[in-house]
Structure 1
Amino acid sequence: MRNGPVVVGVDGSKPSLDAVAAAAREARLRGVGLRVVHAFLWPAMHVPLGPSPTGPPDGGLRNMAERLVADAVEHARTAEPEVEVEGEIVTGEPLTVLERRSRDAALTVVGSRGLGGFTGLLLGSTAVHLSAHGRCPVMVVRGRPEPAGHVLLGMDGSPAGEAAVEFAFAEASLRGAGLVALHTWNNWTGPAVGGPGEPLPLVYDMDMLRDEEERVMAEALSGWQAKYPEVTVHRRLVQARTRPALIEASEDAQLLVVGARGRGGFAGLLLGSVSQAVLHHAHCPVAVVRHREAEH
C-alpha cells in the first residue's frame, strides 16, 4: 500500500461531506494525513472572484470556496480528531485536479454525486471518470449510511485483478473485518444475456469448469492469505452473472472492492462493465483498484 495522504474531493454537497468523514477514517486507519481538495473552476471562466462592490465583504466566489473547504476540514477533524487535515483550493476542473492529486495519494475518496449532478442520476461523472483515470485506488462513498459487515472482494483471478485482491486484504486487516471473496462462474449453456465482454454461449462440462474456477480462486488468494493471517477469508464461488451477484452481496458488506477491468474486458477500456455497474448500484461504498501498469 502507498504511504501518501488520503485525498478527498469536496464541493459542499452532502455526498462530498459523507466522503470527507469516510476519508478521515481511512486516513486514521492508515496513520497518514488527509488532504481536502476543492477544484476551483471559476478562474478559468474569467469571472469576478471577489465580493461585489455592493455586497457583503465576505461574499464572492473565492470566499465561498474558502468557507467550503474550511467547513469540510472541520467536518473531518470532528469525525477523526487525531488525523492531521489540510485543505487546498486548486484551480481547475474536478477530474483533472483529483487525477493529478491522486498521483502521490494512498487513496482518493469522492462522493457518489456532487452539486453538478443532474437529478435522477445514480452516480456523478467525476466519480465514474476518476475511477477509470485515478493513479491510486479510488473509493466512491455510496449506499446505506455507516455500513457495517465484512469487506467484499469481487475477483476473477486475472493478473489485472491482483491489485484489487491486495487492497481488499489490506482493508480488511485495517478495519478488523472479515473478507468475503466472491468469484462467479457460469456454464453458458443458455441464451447469450449480459453485456459487452461476456462470452458467447458455449457448452462446458460443469464439474470440470467448477473445479477450474476453484483452482483459479485458490491461487489468487493463497499468497495474500499467508501475508494477512489475521484476516478471516470466506470463499464464495457462485454460479451466476457477476454484476447482479456482486450488487446483491453488497447488501451486508461495509466495502466492495473490485478491479477496474477483469479478464472479460475489451482491450483499451479503462473501466469495465462490472466496475461501472457496482459504482451505480452497490449498497455500500465501492473501491476501484486499477492494475499497477495502468497507473503509469
Structure 2
Amino acid sequence: MAGEDERDAIVVGVDGSETATRALRWAAERAAHRRAPLHVVYAYGLVARYFAVEAPVPPSVIESLLEEAQTIVDNAVDEAVAVAPGLAVSPEAVDEPPVPALTHRSRTAALVVLGASGLGGFTGMLAGSTAVAVAAHAHAPVVVVRCGEGRTEPPSTGPVVVGMDGSPLGERAVAHAFEEARRRSAPLVAVHAWADVEDESVLRRARLFFTNSPEEDELRAKLDEQLAGWQARYPGVPVERVLVRDRPRRQLLDRSATAQLVVVGSRGRGGFTGLLLGSTSQALIHHAQCPVMVVRPPGGES
C-alpha cells in the first residue's frame, strides 16, 4: 500500500462549522504527512435546499448564498495552508447535496474526511445522514473525525486500533491499519471480539469460562496466522493482540478512548457479524473518542 495513497488527493468536506474545520485541519496534517494534495469540497446543494419551495427564490438570495459558499471554501484553504504551509490545496464549491458530491469525488481520492457534525450543507451529520451515507457508498476509505470528551482537537498519540474478523473486507481494514500505524510510528492493537449470545448476563458468564480454554487457544492461533504476513511486511510496527468474548462495538468504543485512530471494515462476518453501517460502524461514527476510518470494498461495492 505504500506509495498508492501518495498519488491521490485527500478529499475533505467543509461547511464552515467548527467540527468541519477540525476535520479540515486533521485532513491537512495527514495530506502533508503523505505528501498528497488536499481537495476541499463545500457541497451547498442550493437546488435541493431552496428550489423545492413553490415560491421563486429572489436573485439576491441566490447571490448571497453563492458568496457565502465562496467565502467558506476560501477560508478553508487559508486554514489548511496555515496548518501545513506549502500544501497543495484545491477548493471546490458545488451545487450538489453533500452525499452524492463526496461519493462521486471519492472515486479518485485516497481518503474522504468528514467532521462528526456540521451546519449548512452538512446539517444532520451528527444523526448520521451524511457521514453514514458517505461511509456506506464511498469508493475510498472514509474518516469521520471525532474528539474525546474535553478535547478540542482529535488525539495525535496512542495506538491505531483495528477490528478483525477474518473476512476479505476485514483484511483490507488490517492493511490500512498497518499502513496508518507505520506512517504515524504508532503501535497497532488488533481486536478480535465476538458475542455469540444475545443475553448480556449470559455473555458475562461466558467470558469467565472462555479464558485459557482450548477454544481461546484455537482462535488465538488463527489471529496470529492472520497477522503474521502483515507483521512480516511491517516489521517496525509493534502489534498487540486482543482476543475477547464481547460485543465488538463495545470493545472498539472503549479502546477509542486511548487511540488516535480506529479502523473498521464497512461490514463484517464471524467475530464481527453485523458490522454494517447502522451497527458497529455507525456506533463508532456516533460515539468514538478519536477519528474513525471506515474501509470500503474495492471500487465501493456494496
Both proteins in one fold, TM over 0.5: yes
Q: Closer, same or farther in 2 for the Cα pair 1:142/1:205, shift >3 Å?
A: closer
- The amino acid across from 2:256 in the alignment is S
Distance 2:87 2:296 in 1: 27
Distance 2:190 2:276 in 1: 23
CA deviation after TM superposition for structure 1 residue 123, in Å? 4.2
User: TM-score, normalized by length of structure 1?
Assistant: 0.85
Tell me the distance in 1 between the aligned counterparts of 2:187 and 2:58. 49
- Structure 2 residue corresponding to 1:225, chosen from 222, 225, 231: 231
Which residue matches 2:243? Answer: 237
CA contact (8 A) 1:49 1:61 kept: no
How many equivalent residue pairs? 279
Q: Which amino acid aligns with 2:74?
A: A
Q: Given that residues 187 and 237 in structure 2 are in contact (C-alpha distance below 8 angstroms), is that contact kept between their aligned partners in structure 1?
A: yes
Seen in structure 2, the aligned counterparts of structure 1 residues 133 and 213 have a Cα distance that, compared at 3 Å, is same
How far residue 30 of structure 1 moved from its aligned partner, in angstroms, is: 1.4
CA change 1:98–1:293 in 2 (3 A) is closer
Query: 14-23 or 206-215: which moved more?
Result: 206-215
Label 1:52 to 1:162 Cα distance change in 2 as closer, same or farther (>3 A): closer
**1:237-256 correspondence to structure 2 within 5 Å:** 237-256=243-262
Helix, strand or coil for the counterpart of 2:261?
A: strand
Q: Find the partner of 1:146 among 154, 163, 187.
A: 154
Q: Secondary structure at the match of 1:11?
A: coil
**Alpha carbons 1:160, 1:291 under 8 Å: kept:** yes
AA matched with 1:180: V
Listed one character per residue, the Cα deviations across residues 82-136 of structure 1 (whole Å, up to 9, x for unaligned) are: 3111101122110000000000000000001111545xx8444101111111110
- Mapping 1:78-157, distance limit 5 Å: 78-115=82-119, 116-117=122-123, 122-144=126-148, 145-147=153-155, 148-157=157-166
- Identify the match of residue 164 of structure 1 among 147, 168, 173: 173
Answer yes or no: is 1:280 the counterpart of 2:286: yes
Matched, 1:183 2:192: yes
Distance 1:142 1:221 in 2: 27
- Contact 1:257/1:288 (CA < 8 Å) preserved in 2? yes
Please list every run of 5 or more consecutive structure 1 residues that lacks an aligned counterpart in the other structure: 54-58
CA deviations 1:5-45 (Å, max 9, x no partner) are 00000111111101100111111121110000011311454
Give the deviation of 1:266 after TM superposition. Answer: 7.5
User: Identity of aligned pairs, percent?
Assistant: 44
Equivalent AA in structure 2 for residue 139 of structure 1 = V
- Any conservation in 2 of the 1:123–1:279 contact (CA below 8 Å)? no
Once the two structures are superposed, what CA deviation does each residue of 1:172-195 show, in whole Å capped at 9, x if it has no partner? 111111111111145x4x65359x
Letter in 2 for 1:192: D
Quick one: which of 197, 209, 212 aligns to 2:215? 209
- Which residue number corresponds to residue 56 of structure 1? none
Q: Which runs of 5+ in 2 are unaligned?
A: none
**Which amino acid in structure 1 is aligned with residue 28 of structure 2?**
A
Q: Contact 2:128–2:286 (CA<8 Å) still a contact in 1?
A: no
Q: Indicate conservation of the 8 Å contact 2:13/2:102, yes or no.
A: yes
1:152 Cα deviation (Å)?
A: 0.8
Give a deviation string over 1:33-72, Cα, whole Å, max 9, x none: 000001131145446585469xxxxx61111100000001
Shift of 1:146: 3.2
Q: Does 2:196 correspond to 1:192?
A: no
Amino acid corresponding to residue 179 of structure 1 in structure 2: L
Residue in 1 aligned with 2:17?
13
| CA displacement 1:186-224 (0-9 Å, x = unmatched) | 5x4x65359xxx9xx9xx987232122212211221111
Q: Does the residue aligned with 2:130 lie in a helix, a strand or coil? A: helix
Higher helix share: 2
Q: Relative to 1, partners in 2 of residues 1:293 and 1:71: Cα closer, same or farther, differing over 3 Å?
A: closer
In structure 2, the residue matched to 1:259 is: 265
Q: Partner amino acid for 1:23?
A: A
Whole-Å Cα distance in 2 between the matches of residues 94 and 52 of structure 1? 20
